[in-house]
Amino acid sequence: MAQAASITVNDRQATPVAHTFAPRQVAPGSALFVESASVPIGEKSLIVRTAKKGTRYTTRITFAVPVLVTETVNGVAVPTVPRSSFVDCTFRFDDTSTLQERKDTVGMFANMLAATQTVIDGSVTNLEGIW
């Protein structure tokens, strides 16, 4: 079992910015990590859940990125989230899978998300259809 620790990832800015997600809540099989913001509603969050059901191991990762703006209503500044981006990824492995099979599957999936993979990147980031 992995111990909850801060997770740092870079974005895709021209000059990449490192984002650090610190553990906020940890329970058996589940952990919430957040990148602190000026107000809690603006925090980016990463949730990792693991479970075993029957012969299947499941790891579900959800990632939320809210956009925080400040609206002024009657002279009072109020932080608001007008929209959020959300990712939901689930890995399922049989209990007879090998460590190398799982590593290969995760590695190939991670590489599919590279900017150089124009079909997937164009579909996800440019909102293009596939024809």
pLDDT tens digits for range 54-83: 999 999 999 999 999 999 989 999 999 999
% of residues, the chain, pLDDT over 70? 99
Largest CA distance in the chain: 62
The Cα 10–Cα 8 span in angstroms is 7
Do 59 and 99 form a contact (C-beta atoms < 8 A)?
no
pTM, 2 dp = 0.89
How is domain 7-96 classified at the CATH fold level? MS2 Viral Coat Protein (3.30.380)
% of residues, the chain, pLDDT over 90? 95
Q: How many CB atoms lie within 10 A of CB 31?
A: 21
DSSP readout, 95-127? TT--HHHHHHHHHHHHHHTSTT-HHHHHHHHS-
CA dist 33 to 49, 53, 59, 92, 107, Å?
A: 11, 24, 15, 22, 22
The Cα 14–Cα 69 span in angstroms is 23
